[in-house]
Amino acid sequence: MYSLVDCNSFFCSVEKVFHPGLEGKPVCVLSSNDGCIVALTPEAKACGLHRGDPIFKVEDIVKHYGVQVFSTNMQLYAAMSRRITSILRRSIHHVENYSIDESFLDLNGYEKNFDLVELMQGIKDRIKLWTDIPVSIGIAPSKTLAKMGSKFAKQYKGYKGVCMIDTEEKRRKSLGLFDLSDVWGIGRRTF
C-alpha cells in the first residue's frame, strides 16, 4: 500500500501560520513576479478566483471580498516542507517527496502491525499540531489511487482527512467519479 500526504493550499496555509487571524478568510499567493495567482484557499475560490488568474484582472474581486494577497516566499515554503518531511520520516521508513507539498509513503508491511487509517490519522494530526499545516491523505495499492484518495479526503469531510481505497468496489467507485483527463498519471497530454 502507498499513501500520499498532500498539504492543503500549502503556500496559503504557510502564510496563515505566520499571519494569525486569517483562518476562514480568503487568501491568495502570487507568482514570483506577482503576476498571477499560484495558490488560493477554498474561501478565495468561493469568491470567484482561480489558479492562474492574472492579478490585475481580478483586482475588483480582491478588493470587494478583502482577499489577503501575498508574494511567493519559496524559502519559507521550502523550510516548512522540510519540517513536514521530517515528521513523515520519523513516522514511516520510506518517504518519497513528490513536490514541495506532496509526499508518497511506502506502507508495505505496516498493515501487519497497524490500522493504516489510524496510523495516517495520527500523522495528519501530528503535522497539524507541530506545524499548523492541514493535510489530506490518500491510501491505496497504487500511487495513482493514493493521489485520488487524497483528493477525496480533501473534498469530503466524512473522511476526516484520510481516505483509503482498499477494495475493488472502492477502486471502481473512485475511478467512476473522476474524469479520465483528471486522473494523475494519465491526464490530458496522453490523448
User: Is a pLDDT exceeding 80 seen at residue 86?
Assistant: yes
pLDDT of residue 180: 64
Candidates 3.30.930.10, 3.30.70.270, 3.30.420.40, 1.10.1040.10; correct CATH number of 2-8+75-190?
Answer: 3.30.70.270
**Mean pLDDT of the 76-99 span:** 96
**Mean pLDDT of the 94-107 span:** 96
- What is the rounded distance in angstroms from the CA atom of residue 69 to the CA atom of residue 102? 23
Are 154 and 4 in contact by the 8 Å Cβ rule? The answer is no
In the three-class reduction of DSSP (H, G, I as helix; E, B as strand; rest coil), residue 162 is classed as strand
- Is the dihedral angle over the CA atoms 183, 185, 188, 191 positive or is it negative? negative
In the three-class reduction of DSSP (H, G, I as helix; E, B as strand; rest coil), residue 111 is classed as helix
pLDDT of residue 75: 95
Q: Give tens-digit pLDDT for 104-157.
A: 999 999 999 999 999 999 999 999 999 999 999 999 999 989 999 999 999 888
DSSP character for 92?
A: -
| Torsion, Cα of 171, 172, 178, 184 (10° steps) | 40
pLDDT of residue 168: 84
- pLDDT bucket at 12, cuts 50 / 70 / 90: very high
pLDDT of residue 120: 97
CATH code of domain 11-73: 3.40.1170.60
- pLDDT averaged over every residue in the chain: 91
All CATH 3.30.70.270 domain ranges in the chain, comma separated: 2-8+75-190
pLDDT of residue 101: 96
All CATH 3.40.1170.60 domain ranges in the chain, comma separated: 11-73
